[in-house]
Chains A and B, each alone.
Chain A
């Protein structure tokens, strides 16, 4: 890595860290104004960081966030905004729960089949938005928002009318038929840390290789950076859009799998809720880079997990949600400010270098 790209990486990482600190500062003000002790809040959070249980929970929570952030980021890389991860995830959840429960296979194959079904169904739902964009020119932001709500209604209807199991056990929650044990994703630490984190890391690796190390990825980034130039070099823009939306949807299908295969083992309402949306925040904080996403997901996972501890100290755990919102806003604002500052810096240095050259 040469000096310039190292500098750029430092600036990028620095602005994300700065955003986190700004968010901490604003949360402090919020806590002070509402009469809560910020020192206690933050020391509680710090203490939580040395608790193994909290850390295991953090990884569990970070798993779906990494995958959904990768789904969002691959779209971002070519200026496509897939807000529909939530809906694609939901469609994939029910499809996989139904298919997985009605198939009998040996353990490894069964899980593999479930993951493949999830990817396929997520991709199909995302494909609708892709088709609308490519064939009918419908903006993907609007269509994926609408498709989210349609998915919500469709899945709720299909669940209620066809797939719910009315069992007479004591549980209040209605679920679909439970997946056979062969479809359960194994835990690393029993009931505490699920193995899906491995899949999440694989997804991030695939994302990295695909976008930065292949010809397809180069074309993808080229289309995002300068669509006109990319087209001039023979990139087929519509095909690129369709393929990247399909990949994004396939990733999105995997988002809910930790909750489905690793935790509940059946579909129920509210399963993995909001995890698709939260991926957007993680992708923004992680600057659409696999490494950044990895750490951002861990941070958000930690905030979510440790906020439970705040409740014990009589501090509403929703402060964690506020923090994530502020982080998103701060990170984009600081990015823009830092970009301007960096541009100016480079311009100044170029000007200085020009003056040194004897005329």
Chain B
């Protein structure tokens, strides 16, 4: 993705970033980020910044965003812009609430998958069969999903025990929470294994080590099984899209459907399949909200997370692991706010340090204008940190959107969307 572009700019540098393997690059980035957080944690004394509790609640907050992001990725990789993710999530959350109330929580997710697939098919029917503008169809789906779930709630939930006009009765059954043995003190049979990372995490005076321990422990403690499934979908998406024939054909439908068509790829069928997958993923995200994160469906529960998912698809550069990173990034401030809003100002300092690093990076590339801009931003952020003692929650809510706009405006050259996403296409028209 970014390798080709960076290689041209970094050739003159002695340490060649571009020759590193992707895995090393990724681990360097993660390590760098962790270092920044560790430094900020020690400066600000905000120990919760990288605690395992914060990370595991980040995972919970991020799961629906991750699923919505993957939904956007699958659709756009096949060439269909999916603005209707929000609507598909709404349908998913309703189906999840209904299924969990009637039969239990896993049935709720199953019902949501079916419902999402159906809505995905409607979007596919409109955009593929009838060549409707993708954005228009997506908006119609959002209106339709909101209207029909409200209607159905009144029919099915009103007057039921614990239910009402805008919420479902409480769902049955939960999901097993899961702790990794040895790492996070999980149980093997009835024996409770030692909590090694938990012990490491408490050594707050050491830099880096407790942060690393907290991060890893956060990933493996208090994990809901559906979260595990969602995370597993990331490598699965990579494998299917980049390692199978189906995936190659699907991506050809997003990059250049005419080229694919000339090789006998059934573009339209692939797009229907992709939209079924996309709709199910989004609905899974919705059901996660209504029967894992909470145990009731509430009207307006999705609260624009579908759009954050769309932002995540872009932020993640249409790559599954990028979407994963984006979901964690967008989920983190919310999770931090949920736990203790006093820790949120530390994020300003994190942003300041990140800006400083970006400034250094630009200096190394002799881009003085960008470097001074980044440095100025860093100084502003540090000043802001000095002045502010509580960040208004509205700013936390707006962060994903601001970040997305900045990324779109600033790093546009590094982004590479599927070339044919959202364009009108009819098979057999250009010969």
Q: Which residues of A contact B (CB under 8 A)?
A: 30, 34-35, 81, 83, 132, 136-139, 141-143, 145-147, 149-150, 152-154, 156-157, 160-161, 277, 280-281, 284, 316, 318-322, 324-326, 328-329, 332-333, 336-337
Residues in A with CB closer than 8 Å to B141 are 325, 329
Nearest A residue (CB) for B408: A138
The listed residue (B133, B137, B140, B402) touching A150 by CB distance below 8 A is B402
Q: A156–B398 Cα gap in the complex (Å)?
A: 11
Residues in A with CB closer than 8 Å to B147 are 318-322, 324-325
Contact B140 A325 (CB under 8 A): yes
The listed residue (A34, A138, A141) touching B135 by CB distance below 8 A is A141
Can you give 11 A-B contacts (C-beta < 8 A)?
A30-B148, A83-B135, A146-B311, A150-B398, A281-B139, A320-B147, A321-B146, A321-B151, A326-B144, A329-B140, A337-B130
Q: For the complex formed, measure the closest distance between the CB of A302 and the CB atoms of chain B, giving whole angstroms.
A: 16
Residues in B with CB closer than 8 Å to A328 are 136, 139-140, 143
Residues in A with CB closer than 8 Å to B239 are none
Q: A200–B240 Cα gap in the complex (Å)?
A: 52
Residues in A with CB closer than 8 Å to B151 are 30, 34, 316, 318-319, 321-322
Q: For the complex formed, measure the closest distance between the CB of A272 and the CB atoms of chain B, giving whole angstroms.
A: 17
Give 12 A-B pairs besides A132-B408, A157-B392 with Cβ atoms closer than 8 angstroms: A34-B152, A146-B405, A147-B401, A153-B397, A154-B398, A281-B140, A318-B151, A318-B154, A324-B147, A325-B144, A325-B148, A333-B132
Residues in B with CB closer than 8 Å to A281 are 139-140, 143
Q: A320–B410 Cα gap in the complex (Å)?
A: 43
Contact A146 B401 (CB under 8 A): yes
Residues in B with CB closer than 8 Å to A329 are 122, 126, 132, 137, 140-141, 144
Q: A113–B228 Cα gap in the complex (Å)?
A: 57
- Say which size band chain B's interface belongs to: 35 or more
Q: Does B387 contact A (CB under 8 A)?
A: no
Residues in A with CB closer than 8 Å to B144 are 322, 325-326, 329
Q: Does B307 contact A (CB under 8 A)?
A: yes
Residue of A132, A141, A324 with most partner-chain B CB within 10 A = A141
The listed residue (B137, B154, B155, B405) touching A332 by CB distance below 8 A is B137
Q: A277–B401 Cα gap in the complex (Å)?
A: 18
For residues 366 through 396 of chain B, which have their beta carbon under 8 Å from a beta carbon of chain A?
392, 394-395
Contact mask B394-417 → A, CB, 8 Å, 1/0?
Answer: 110110011011001110100000
Contact A83 B401 (CB under 8 A): no
Chain B interface helix/strand/loop/mixed: helix
Q: For the complex formed, measure the closest distance between the CB of B388 and the CB atoms of chain A, giving whole angstroms.
A: 12
Q: Does B150 contact A (CB under 8 A)?
A: yes
Residues in A with CB closer than 8 Å to B412 are 136-138
Residues in A with CB closer than 8 Å to B81 are 141
Chain A interface helix/strand/loop/mixed: helix
Q: For the complex formed, measure the closest distance between the CB of B293 and the CB atoms of chain A, giving whole angstroms.
A: 20
Q: Does B131 contact A (CB under 8 A)?
A: yes
Residues in B with CB closer than 8 Å to A161 are 392
Q: For the complex formed, measure the closest distance between the CB of A163 and the CB atoms of chain B, giving whole angstroms.
A: 14
Q: For the complex formed, measure the closest distance between the CB of B275 and the CB atoms of chain A, giving whole angstroms.
A: 15
Contact A142 B392 (CB under 8 A): no
Q: Does B304 contact A (CB under 8 A)?
A: yes
Q: For the complex formed, measure the closest distance between the CB of B262 and the CB atoms of chain A, giving whole angstroms.
A: 24
The listed residue (B310, B405, B410) touching A147 by CB distance below 8 A is B405
Q: For the complex formed, measure the closest distance between the CB of B194 and the CB atoms of chain A, giving whole angstroms.
A: 44
The listed residue (A136, A326, A332) touching B132 by CB distance below 8 A is A332
3 A-B pairs with least C-beta separation: A321-B147, A325-B144, A153-B398
Contact A142 B150 (CB under 8 A): no
Q: A30–B154 Cα gap in the complex (Å)?
A: 14
Nearest B residue (CB) for A36: B155
The listed residue (A149, A318, A336) touching B398 by CB distance below 8 A is A149
Contact B404 A146 (CB under 8 A): yes
The verdict on A324 contacting B143 (CB below 8 Å), with A142-B310, A149-B401, A316-B151 known, is: yes
Contact A83 B139 (CB under 8 A): yes
Nearest A residue (CB) for B308: A149
Residues in B with CB closer than 8 Å to A325 are 140-141, 143-148
Q: A318–B94 Cα gap in the complex (Å)?
A: 15
Residue of B137, B152, B394, B404 with most partner-chain A CB within 10 A = B394
Q: A268–B252 Cα gap in the complex (Å)?
A: 49
Nearest B residue (CB) for A324: B143
Residue of B83, B122, B139, B310 with most partner-chain A CB within 10 A = B139
Contact mask B279-302 → A, CB, 8 Å, 1/0?
Answer: 000000000000000000000000
Residue of A132, A154, A160, A316 with most partner-chain B CB within 10 A = A316
Contact mask B139-172 → A, CB, 8 Å, 1/0?
Answer: 1110111111011101100000000000000000
Q: Does B111 contact A (CB under 8 A)?
A: no
Q: Does B328 contact A (CB under 8 A)?
A: no
Nearest A residue (CB) for B125: A333
Q: Does B314 contact A (CB under 8 A)?
A: yes
The verdict on A142 contacting B404 (CB below 8 Å), with A153-B397, A153-B398 known, is: yes
Q: For the complex formed, measure the closest distance between the CB of B207 and the CB atoms of chain A, giving whole angstroms.
A: 34
Q: A138–B146 Cα gap in the complex (Å)?
A: 29
Contact B132 A150 (CB under 8 A): no
Residues in B with CB closer than 8 Å to A149 are 304, 307, 397-398, 401
Q: A262–B104 Cα gap in the complex (Å)?
A: 50
The listed residue (B137, B140, B405) touching A143 by CB distance below 8 A is B405
Contact A280 B139 (CB under 8 A): yes
Nearest A residue (CB) for B131: A336
Contact mask B100-137 → A, CB, 8 Å, 1/0?
Answer: 00000000000000000000001000100011110111
Residues in A with CB closer than 8 Å to B146 are 321, 325
The listed residue (B310, B397, B409) touching A136 by CB distance below 8 A is B409
Q: A154–B405 Cα gap in the complex (Å)?
A: 15
Residues in B with CB closer than 8 Å to A160 are 392, 394
The verdict on A321 contacting B394 (CB below 8 Å), with A136-B412, A336-B131 known, is: no
Residues in A with CB closer than 8 Å to B154 are 316, 318
Residues in B with CB closer than 8 Å to A336 are 130-132
Q: For the complex formed, measure the closest distance between the CB of A84 and the CB atoms of chain B, giving whole angstroms.
A: 12
Q: A116–B356 Cα gap in the complex (Å)?
A: 42
Residues in B with CB closer than 8 Å to A319 are 147, 151
The listed residue (B143, B155, B409) touching A34 by CB distance below 8 A is B155
Q: For the complex formed, measure the closest distance between the CB of A32 and the CB atoms of chain B, giving whole angstroms.
A: 13
Q: For the complex formed, measure the closest distance between the CB of A313 and the CB atoms of chain B, giving whole angstroms.
A: 13
Contact B392 A333 (CB under 8 A): no
Contact A132 B395 (CB under 8 A): no
Nearest B residue (CB) for A151: B398
